[in-house]
Amino acid sequence: MNVIIVRDYDELSKKAAQIVANEIKKKPNLVLGLATGSTPLGMYRELVKLYKKGEVDFSQVITFNLDEYVGLSPSDKNSYHYYMYENFFKHINIPQQNIHIPDGAAENIEEECRRYDEKIMKHQRIDMQVLGIGTNGHIGFNEPGDELITTTHVTKLAEETRKANARFFESLDKVPQYAITMGLGTIMKAKKILLLASGKSKAKIISELLGDESVSTKVPASFLLIHPDVTCIFDEEAASLIKGRGE
């Protein structure tokens, strides 16, 4: 893992946007895997700025989002569809047909998962996958457990995840119980992975991730230790408990 530690969230966002923009310059039809949540918001803001300055062109980029809540329609303000359009897609020149997000309101959810994997497989693999990390070590919504599923599937959200995400909803009971998520196999097949973590709440899981050389389904992000091309960008707060730092 290539670990880059930056001062704060602003620097993290700029660095992440620069890395993604460079990949698009190298390969204009980049297959780009995207995350939602708080962490990548600044990266999207910076990518929009680069686009407006004419420094990056999304006209051939193909995107696949990691996940979506089951039961929320694309127009629901708490859906990841809504998040992605509001924070990113409606501000750049990506063609509508190049955008892929699982449909959490699909009538047949199992079929939707299969269809999503087929679409990814048409491109063979994701070129660069952007990831955040849950405080419990989840990536996408691959939650800790006795086993991890390789393909796109429906997952029951961990209570820790529902509580962490309740800040976006009116109340905890409004947070969906289930989500569609890309599986760990698809994530691990991505050529490159960009893992972002910001803030004190991530310090514990980041120190566990970097302090342990074993992989475990109890910490889904630990599988990134065996991926050949992972770049991590952490801000000082997220990196503050990494062993050996500041000693």
User: Please, what's the b/e burial string for 72-105 (b: 16 or more CB within 10 A of its CB; e: otherwise)?
Assistant: beeeeebbbbbbbbebbbebbebeeebbbbbbbb
Say how many C-beta atoms besides its own lie within 10 A of residue 247's C-beta: 4
Q: Which of 112, 138, 235, 236 is catalytic?
A: 138
* 129 interacts with ligand F6R by CB under 6 A: no
Does 186 contact ligand F6R by CB under 6 A?
no
- Other CB atoms closer than 10 Å to residue 160's CB: what's the count? 15
* Of 20-28, 127-135, 147-155, 214-222: span binding ligand F6R (CB under 6 A): 127-135
Q: Are strands 178-181 and 153-156 parallel, antiparallel or unpaired?
A: antiparallel
Question: Of the two residues 171 and 244, which places its CB atom closer to ligand F6R in the complex?
Answer: 171
**Residue 3: which H helix or E strand, with range?**
strand 2-6
Stretch of 88-96, 120-128, 137-145, 213-221 contacting ligand F6R, by CB under 6 A: 137-145
67 catalytic, yes or no? Answer: yes
CA dihedral 57, 83, 133, 100 (to 10 degrees): -60
Of residues 10-49, those binding ligand F6R (CB under 6 A): 35-39
Q: Of the ranges 103-111, 136-144, 186-194, 219-227, which one interacts with ligand F6R (CB under 6 A)? A: 136-144
Q: Which chain residues interact with ligand F6R by CB under 6 A?
A: 35-39, 66-67, 132-134, 138-141
